[in-house]
């Protein structure tokens, strides 16, 4: 049986990223261009079908103006890490 990538932590990170992107009025296609990936792959990230690595996480946070270290601390605090 395949292990799910839908952990609470992963879902919360993605939710924060999606909420911030929408709040800023940035379209998925524009995020994809800034990250130098396809819109399809960016959509798959937001839908939880692709788990993001640390480099992509930091790049996404940078584009959205999110303090990545603060976000990681919040996630670990909330989920007992």
Residue 58 is predicted with a pLDDT of 96
pLDDT-based confidence at residue 81 (cuts at 50, 70, 90): low
At residue 66, the 3 state secondary structure works out as: coil
Q: How many domains does the chain have?
A: 1
Give a yes or no: residue 3 inside a domain.
no
Give a yes or no: residue 70 inside a domain.
yes
Give a yes or no: residue 31 inside a domain.
yes
Roughly how many angstroms between the first and final C-alpha of the chain, as a whole number? 25
16-24 contacts, C-beta under 8 A, 24 or more apart: 16/66, 16/71, 17/46, 17/60, 17/61, 17/64, 17/66, 18/46, 20/64, 20/65, 20/66, 21/64, 24/64, 24/65
5 has pLDDT over 80:
no
Domain that holds residue 57: 8-78
The CATH number covering residue 41 comes to 1.10.260.40
């Amino acid at each position: 049986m395949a292990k799910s990538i839908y952990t609470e932590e992963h879902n919360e990170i993605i939710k924060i990223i999606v909420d911030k992107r929408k709040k800023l009025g940035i379209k998925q296609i524009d995020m994809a261009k800034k990250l130098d990936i396809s819109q399809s792959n960016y959509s798959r990230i937001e839908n939880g079908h692709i788990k993001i690595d640390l480099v992509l996480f930091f790049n996404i946070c940078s584009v959205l103006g999110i303090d990545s270290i603060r976000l990681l601390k919040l996630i670990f605090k909330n989920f007992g890490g």
